[in-house]
Amino acid sequence: MKKQKWIALLLAGGNGTRLNLLTKSLVKPAVPFGGKYRIIDFALSNCKNSGIETVGILTQYKPYVLHEHLGHYSYWNLSNQHGGLTILPPYQRSNSGVEWYEGTSHAVYQNIEFIEQYNPDYVAVLSADQIYKMNYSLMLEQHIETKADCTIAVVEVPWEEASRFGLININRQTYKIIDFEEKPERPTSNLASMGIYIFTWKRLRDYLLQEEQKEYTNRDFGKDIIPSMLSDGLQLYAYYFDKYWRDVGTVHSYWEANLDLLKGEDNIFLQNPEWPVHTVEHHEPPLFLAKSAKIHHSLISEGCEVYGSIEESVLFNGVKVGKGARIRNSVILPHTTIGENAWIENAVVGSQSLIKNGVIIVSKNPEENLMVVGNNETVDPTIKDFSANNQVISVTS
């Protein structure tokens, strides 16, 4: 194999429990986003646009939809004789059975053989479940200039959300990392790790091997590898990122990130058009708007049929909206049908679901109680009426 200066590994195996009903049947990086994309498309496109030739995707939880999506690797131009895109699920290493990935660092440890065939100087380890555009080559330049052992991309987050993240304290003049706290109850910083790392490979390899020898370990970058490196006095630096970034780890943040596309200043697809986001094209028929349709400030994807009223909403490909239906401040995922005279407001409705005629799914306070319908569900007004229910709902067939 040709030696590579650097390669990337995308962590795409977590089950995404905070996304609730949207990840019952698929892994979080495969969840649709922005009308026609999937969440993993952003990290993959960043790799392609940054000039990374070799990308490994570490998968585990309910990977079928993700694997099918990644099978069309030519859309990211990651098919080449020197590397390309490789799917890396757990596998049976001995007669003892399959060795599942037990944490983020353990997943990388299990793929040391894959990494070493490229003999890289540096390895980028990337979360595959965030919405952002980043030139990783600029981060690599800083990593090399500072002679860092590890560089961590960081972003400022609101203080009220800080406890959801791994937090970093830095020297503000040099950006050298002083301290790292993994999701503390009482944050002392609002500078959050983005889960995007560049490591000097020889150094990371040593720490992966050391971690496997410990009796008690989470086998996790944030809880084990990074604190150990800091404790040993290694050179860790922060790479400050000040562009649009969304961690869509909860249904509410996922809803907000989709609705951000309706704001010109926050629409990630309008920012830096020279840095495109690539995805698999499904070649849906053109959008159809009936005479009865009313559309205001919304994003409507190809393949949709609209006979009702849409306001401040995002409709993914293949959605059908019946006559008299009202949709407001909502996100409707692919190939879902909204029946006639239905009313949906402040909600996320999953893929391939059926909302029958006259159903009401409304939240009066989405900041506290967003309405959620899962994938492949049927909501019948003779069974459920959610108009007075201000809770995150779990709809069953």
Judge whether 127 is annotated as a binding position: no
Q: How far is CA 374 from the centre of its chain?
A: 18
* Token representation of residue 167: 């937090």
Judge whether 183 is annotated as a binding position: yes
Can you tell me the distance from the alpha carbon of 103 to that of 14, in angstroms, rounded to the nearest whole number?
9
Judge whether 101 is annotated as a binding position: yes
DSSP 3-state percent helix, strand, coil across the chain (nearest 5): 25, 30, 50
Q: CA 8, 59, 138 angle in degrees (round to 5)?
A: 20
The answer to whether the CB of 263 falls within 8 A of the CB of 146 is: no
* Token representation of residue 312: 């401040």
Can you tell me the distance from the alpha carbon of 338 to that of 66, in angstroms, rounded to the nearest whole number?
26
Contacts of 275 (CB under 8 A, 6+ apart): 45, 49, 133, 135
Judge whether 301 is annotated as a binding position: no
Pairing state between β 314-315 and 299-300? parallel
Judge whether 166 is annotated as a binding position: yes
| Residue-wise DSSP of 336-361 | -EE-TT-EEEEEEE-TT-EE-TT-EE
Can you tell me the distance from the alpha carbon of 140 to that of 124, in angstroms, rounded to the nearest whole number?
9
Phi-psi category of residue 80: left, alpha or beta, with phi > 0 → left and psi -120 to 50 → alpha: beta
3-state secondary structure of 315: strand
* Token representation of residue 263: 């704001």
Binding residues: 101, 166, 182-183, 193
Binding residues for alpha-D-glucose 1-phosphate: 101, 166, 182-183, 193
